[in-house]
């Protein structure tokens, strides 16, 4: 029997995987220490970002800065529900994670053991996938989407829904709509009910990170005043990082920012 030629070369595959992992890994200095974008991703498809500091000589504090549980909450999951809290606690116990509010972290001796960093990241990925405990439903266009799409139609704009943007640290950040123009405009609609500050803190970081790569980008965030009460801190973040932060029905302001993007 003639042997079948196959492209399955173990060394070629090893090299390809190592190249991919190397390209996906990003380590950047911050004022406090290091920001590390790991090859692993969360349930939303975004890379998991670790923040590493050295508060005590010889010991590092490895943290997710609250992004994992914040992401679960932003997806509509009730992280205080008994079932979710049980699974989070069990994963934390198995992986030696500590929790402070929404932040998950570990203390590790220096120099860092890469296996321990990997285990910490895998635990974050497991926790982020607890979103499956929340029964998914196909999201229909709500009134904010409909209003925004009407503005696009009035201006003859072909906006790209679900576009992905990349920052210096986070890759493939998905936004609701992207409008290509002289200065690209990215639209994100706030859909979460209740406490918005964790979501705004997360998006504040993302917009800043994306503009490290695309400084001309004009972020726009819209909210529904009938469903969401914007606290002072959330509004301050939105107005600081966005070209426009307003209610979805303030269409004249949306028109103005789209005009400004083409000047």
Span 32-61, pLDDT tens digits: 999 999 999 888 778 899 999 999 999 999
**pLDDT cut 90: percent of the chain above it:** 57
- pLDDT over 50 at 137, yes or no: no
Angle at 209 between CA 206 and CA 214, to 5 degrees: 115
Confidence of residue 136 (pLDDT cuts 50, 70, 90): very low
Confidence of residue 134 (pLDDT cuts 50, 70, 90): very low
Answer whether 47's CB lies under 8 Å from 170's CB: yes
**142 vs 17, residue with greater confidence:** 17
User: Could you count the other beta carbons within 10 Å of the beta carbon of residue 57?
Assistant: 6
User: For residue 183, what pLDDT is reported?
Assistant: 94
- Residue-wise pLDDT for 192-220, tens only, equals 776 788 889 989 999 999 999 999 999 99
Instruction: Return all residues near 62 (Cβ < 8 A) that are at least 6 apart.
Output: 50, 51, 52, 105, 106, 107, 108, 112, 117, 120
Domain layout of the chain by residue ranges: 10-133, 143-260
Query: Longest Cα pair distance anywhere in the chain, in angstroms?
Result: 75
Return the CATH architecture of domain 143-260: 3-Layer(aba) Sandwich (3.40)
**Average pLDDT of span 218-246:** 93
**Average pLDDT of span 113-140:** 77
- Enter the pTM of the model: 0.52
Q: How remote is the C-alpha of 205 from its chain's centroid?
A: 9
């Amino acid at each position: 029997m003639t042997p079948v030629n196959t492209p399955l070369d173990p060394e070629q595959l090893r090299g390809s995987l190592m190249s991919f992992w190397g390209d996906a890994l990003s380590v950047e200095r911050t004022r406090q220490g290091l920001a590390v974008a790991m090859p692993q991703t969360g349930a939303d498809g975004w890379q998991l970002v670790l923040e590493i500091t050295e508060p005590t000589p010889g010991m590092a504090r490895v943290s997710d800065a609250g992004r994992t549980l914040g992401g679960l909450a932003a997806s509509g999951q009730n992280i205080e529900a008994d079932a979710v809290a049980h699974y989070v606690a069990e994963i934390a116990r198995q992986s030696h994670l500590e929790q402070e509010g929404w932040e998950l972290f570990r203390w590790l001796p220096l120099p860092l053991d890469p296996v321990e960093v990997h285990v910490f990241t895998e635990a974050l990925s497991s926790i982020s996938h607890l979103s499956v405990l929340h029964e998914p439903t196909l999201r229909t266009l709500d009134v904010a989407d409909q209003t925004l799409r009407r503005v696009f139609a009035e201006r003859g704009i072909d906006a790209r829904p679900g576009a992905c943007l990349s920052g210096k640290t986070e890759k493939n950040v998905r936004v609701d709509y992207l409008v290509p123009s002289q200065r690209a405009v990215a639209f994100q609609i706030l859909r979460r009910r209740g406490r918005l500050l964790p979501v705004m803190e997360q998006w504040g970081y993302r917009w800043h990170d994306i503009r490290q790569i695309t400084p001309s980008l004009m972020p726009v965030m819209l909210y529904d005043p009938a469903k969401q009460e914007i606290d002072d801190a959330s509004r301050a973040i939105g107005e600081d990082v966005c070209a426009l932060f307003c209610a979805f029905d303030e269409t004249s302001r949306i028109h103005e920012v789209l005009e400004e993007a083409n000047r």
